[in-house]
């Protein structure tokens, strides 16, 4: 195993991590501010990917598609918040889970109705295609590097938004005490719609960015949703900082686990059983990580509430 391969895998882990962050950020904001478990977050990811694919195919421009993914997912998020989610804030978590699960089914079948059952075409824009050579002779896909940059830029933007702006103050206040900020004259319904649309937009952006190198198809959001939940549980529910650290931890653990565990087992087992034992354990690695974190810190790394 060479150092170059290891560095490449660390980059892969980072890239996977920042994508998870874009998903988890919205999820953790919505849970932190509104106390809502939103299973339909994965559907907004799918909406973003489909919007990007449809617009990119129609106009020939990936960048217009990317803008469309943000807009479509944010609009879908705002609409869903006003029509459905708003009625769920005072209900218990089971009702929320049921209603948002229903939303998954509605989104999936509506997407199938509109776009058909076959995967859509969406590819990397020419300016970012192919591999670039990094210092040290590492060849790495340009598009994945761009994802890492975009992910950290969005993270920086979110921190600035939460820490420095009026909206950020309202969001933080909303997490601390919902009734009080209502009493202080903040239009809480509007705030909730904005936060929900913001989270949805980020999920849509993640869907478009990832859909470009994966496949754009109905049901693509649910596997990512599960990982995003793992991230916010590790990071601490409601914490953007926790979501970032948790996402990077999960990304690195998953990628390096898949790569290193079979090698570790191969030192004392024969090759083919090492492969199967190693890959079986690798797929559990992030859940082991989650269990470990929860034992040490029951409310997650940066969680405030138990």
Residue 278 CA to residue 262 CA, distance in Å, equals 4
Instruction: For residue 165, state whether it binds another protein (rule: CB under 8 A).
Output: no
Q: Any contact of residue 220 with another protein (CB under 8 A)?
A: yes
Distance between CA 262 and CA 267 in Å, rounded? 9
Strands 131-134 and 138-141: what pairing? antiparallel
Q: Which is nearer to another protein, 35 or 151 (CB)?
A: 151
SS3 303: coil
- Of 37 and 104, nearer to another protein (C-beta) is 104
The footprint of another protein on residues 178-217 (CB under 8 A) is: 210, 212-217
Q: Are 222 and 104 in contact (CB under 8 A)?
A: yes
Residue 34 or 289: the one with the smaller Cβ distance to another protein is 289
Out of 67, 97, 124, 186, the only residue in the binding site for another protein (CB under 8 A) is: 124
Q: With CB under 8 A as the contact rule, which of the stretches 27-35, 191-199, 271-279, 297-305 interacts with another protein?
A: 271-279
The least distance separating another protein from the CB of residue 292, rounded to whole angstroms, comes to: 20
- Residues 63, 101, 121, 287: which binds another protein (CB under 8 A)? 121
Judged by CB under 8 A, the residue of 34, 55, 104, 120 near another protein is 120
Report the alpha-carbon angle 199-190-234, nearest 5.
30
Task: Count residues binding another protein (CB under 8 A).
Answer: 53
Cβ atoms of 101 and 109 within 8 Å: the answer is: no
Query: Quick one: 62 or 302, whose CB is closer to another protein?
Result: 62
Calpha distance 76→112 (Å, rounded): 16
Residue 64 buriedness (CB in 10 A; 0-12 / 13-18 / 19+): middle
State the Cα–Cα distance between residues 146 and 83, nearest whole angstrom.
Answer: 36
Q: Which of 91, 219, 288, 294 binds another protein (CB under 8 A)?
A: 219
- Contact letters (x/-) for another protein, 132-161, by CB under 8 A? -------x-xxxx-----------------
Distance in angstroms (rounded) separating the CA atoms of residues 15 and 11? 6
Minimum CB separation from another protein for residue 163, in Å? 31
Stretch binding another protein (CB under 8 A), from 67-75, 85-93, 128-136, 172-180: 128-136
∠ CA(212), CA(238), CA(170), 5° rounding?
Answer: 100
Which of the stretches 23-31, 66-74, 123-131, 184-192 binds another protein when contact is defined by CB under 8 A? 123-131
Residue ranges in 6-25 that form contacts with another protein under rule CB under 8 A: 8-9, 12, 15-16
**CB contact at 8 A, 88 and 95:** yes
Among left, alpha and beta (phi > 0; psi -120 to 50; other), residue 219 is left
Contact call for residues 206 and 48 (beta carbons, < 8 A): yes
Q: Which residues bind another protein (CB under 8 A)?
A: 1-2, 4-5, 8-9, 12, 15-16, 108-109, 112-113, 117-124, 129-131, 139, 141-144, 210, 212-220, 223, 255-256, 258-259, 262, 271-272, 275-276, 279-280, 282-283
């Amino acid at each position: 195993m060479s150092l170059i391969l290891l560095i490449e895998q660390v980059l892969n882990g980072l890239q996977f991590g920042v994508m998870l962050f874009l998903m988890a950020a919205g999820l953790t904001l919505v849970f932190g501010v509104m106390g809502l478990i939103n299973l339909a977050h994965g559907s907004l990811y799918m909406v973003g990917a489909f919007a990007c694919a449809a617009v990119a195919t129609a106009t020939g421009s990936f960048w217009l598609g990317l803008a469309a993914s943000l807009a479509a997912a944010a609009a879908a998020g705002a609409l869903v918040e006003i029509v459905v989610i708003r009625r769920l804030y005072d209900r218990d978590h089971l009702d929320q889970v049921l209603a948002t699960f229903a939303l998954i089914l509605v989104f999936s079948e509506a997407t199938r109705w509109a776009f058909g059952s076959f995967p859509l075409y969406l590819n990397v824009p020419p300016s970012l295609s192919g591999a670039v050579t990094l210092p040290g002779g590492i060849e790495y896909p340009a598009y994945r590097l761009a994802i890492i940059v975009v992910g950290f830029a969005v993270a920086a933007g979110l921190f600035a938004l939460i820490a420095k702006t009026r909206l950020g103050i309202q969001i933080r206040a909303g997490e601390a005490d919902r009734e009080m900020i209502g009493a202080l004259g903040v239009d809480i319904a509007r705030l909730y719609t904005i936060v929900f649309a913001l989270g949805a937009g980020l999920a849509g952006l993640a869907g478009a960015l990832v859909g470009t190198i994966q496949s754009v198809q109905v049901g693509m959001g649910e596997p990512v949703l599960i990982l995003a939940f793992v991230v916010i549980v590790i990071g601490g529910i409601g914490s953007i900082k926790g979501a970032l650290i948790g996402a990077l931890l999960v990304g690195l653990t998953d990628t390096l686990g898949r790569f290193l565990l079979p090698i570790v087992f191969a030192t004392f087992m024969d090759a083919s059983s090492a492969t199967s034992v190693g890959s079986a354990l690798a797929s559990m690695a992030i859940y082991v990580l989650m269990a470990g974190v929860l034992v040490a810190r029951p409310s997650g790394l940066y969680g405030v509430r138990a």
